[in-house]
Structure 1
Amino acid sequence: MSAEQQPADDTPSRTEQTLDPRSGVEFAFQSSTSNTSTEPAASGQAADSGESLPARIERTYLRTRVAALESELEASERRRQDVIEQYERILENWRADASSQDGDQPSEGPLGRLLDGWR
């Protein structure tokens, strides 16, 4: 292959990667002796929030877990309410059917038709 046909290789070699201080990744470190840092953390909050990284991770995890549980609870309440409404409709239809029939008339069905034939 000639030089014109080879793809350009812009990736730095392994030694260049380790020696280059501008790796494209920024870290915000919090000194254990000083809380006066004004560098923003990766999450966008100030690095001197007073909490350690594990505590912030745990707090974030708990917040997302609470949000998921709240969403699950709302869905469960909607399903429960749907079941209650369905039961109430069935009960209302049953009562309407029962009140539309006379006390002497049997319900519709094979037995009802048989008894209607005897009358």
Structure 2
Amino acid sequence: METSWWVLAATAALPAAAVWCVDRWRHGRQRAALMAHLDKTERARQFAVQQALQARKQVEKLQKELSEHRRAASQSTAQREKTRQLQAALDAAPEPAVVPEDTAAPAPPTHGFADTLPM
């Protein structure tokens, strides 16, 4: 009778050990798959953070360029307005009077030398 208990205990322990080994193997595979998924997710998160930082830098750079272009455009607009005002002022100014030639500066001497005698 004594051997039958040992045989019964061994017979019960053998399948239990087999189930334990199969479960350990299966859970190990699941754990490895979950760890791989976690690693992949972490890398994707890191990549997203990197892309977000790069996008922020690009937005900042584009905003600076846009403000420079706006400033240049406003300066050129101001310059065009100033030019338009000056042109309007020139158009509104009276024409200069024409000076007759007889009151103009005396003609230079015909011999080409300056007159040095006192008058």
- Structure 2-normalised TM-score? 0.45
> Whose helix proportion is higher, 1 or 2?
2
Which of structures 1 and 2 has the bigger CA Rg?
A: 2
